[in-house]
Amino acid sequence: TQSTRPQRILGAVQRNATRGDPRSVVRAIDQYCRNQEWAMNVGDEKGCILDSVVSEVNPATVLELGTYCGYSTVRIASLLPPHAKLITLEFNPEFAVIARQVFAWAGLEDKIQLVEGASGDLIPKMKEQFGVETFDLVFLDHWKDRYLPDTKLMEECGLLRKGSVLLADNVICPGAPEYLEFVRSSPRYESQYFKSHLEYTKVEDGLEKSVFLG
Ligand SMILES: O=C(NCCO)c1cc(-c2ccc(F)cc2)cc(O)c1O
Ligand SMILES: [Mg+2]
User: How far apart are the CA of 72 and the centre of ligand 2, in A?
Assistant: 9
Q: How far apart are CA 25 and CA 138, in angstroms?
A: 22
Spatial CB neighbours of 71, under 8 Å, sequence gap ≥ 6: 26, 29, 41, 42, 47, 102
Tens digit of each residue's pLDDT (9 = 90 or more) over 192-205: 999 999 999 999 99
> Pick from 65, 70, 68, 71: which is nearest to 93 by CA?
68
Residue 79, amino acid: L
Per-residue confidence (pLDDT) for residue 107, from 0 to 100:
98
- 98-110 tens-digit pLDDT: 999 999 999 999 9
What pLDDT band is residue 58 in, cutting at 50, 70 and 90? very high
Q: Whose CA is nearest to atom 20 of ligand 1?
A: 40
Q: Decide: 88 and 115 in contact? Cβ < 8 Å.
A: yes
Q: What is the pLDDT of residue 92?
A: 98
CA distances, 22 to each of 10, 51, 64, 135 (Å): 13, 13, 17, 23
Per the annotation, the verdict on 170 as an active-site residue is: yes
β 204-212/189-197 pair status: antiparallel
pLDDT for res 34: 98
| pLDDT one-digit tens code per residue, 10-24 | 999 999 999 999 999
pLDDT tens digits, one per residue of 167-176? 999 999 999 9
Per DSSP, helices labelled H in the chain are 5-16, 22-35, 43-57, 71-77, 93-106, 119-122, 126-130, 147-156, 177-185
Q: Could you tell me the distance, in angstroms and rounded to a whole number, from the CA of residue 118 to the centre of ligand 1?
A: 17
Q: What average pLDDT does the segment 39-66 reach?
A: 99
Predicted local distance difference test score (pLDDT) of residue 190: 99
* Contact yes or no for 96/142 (Cβ under 8 A): no
Q: Give the residue from 126, 176, 125, 129 showing the smallest Cα distance to 148.
A: 176
Per-residue CA distances from 196 to 42, 175, 200, 205 (Å) = 11, 13, 11, 5
pTM above 0.90, yes or no: yes
Ligand 1 pocket check for 173: Cβ under 6 Å? yes
pLDDT the model gives residue 104:
98
Question: Please, what is the average pLDDT of the chain?
Answer: 98
The pLDDT-based confidence of 152 (bands split at 50, 70, 90) is very high
Task: Please give the pLDDT value at position 98.
Answer: 99
19: DSSP letter: T
Of residues 44, 64, 150, 169, which has the active-site annotation? Answer: 169
Q: In angstroms, rounded to a whole number, what is the distance separating the alpha carbons of residues 172 and 201?
A: 13
- Paired with 116 in beta bridges are 90
* Percent share of the chain, pLDDT over 90: 100
Mapping DSSP to helix (H, G, I), strand (E, B) and coil, where does residue 172 land?
Answer: helix
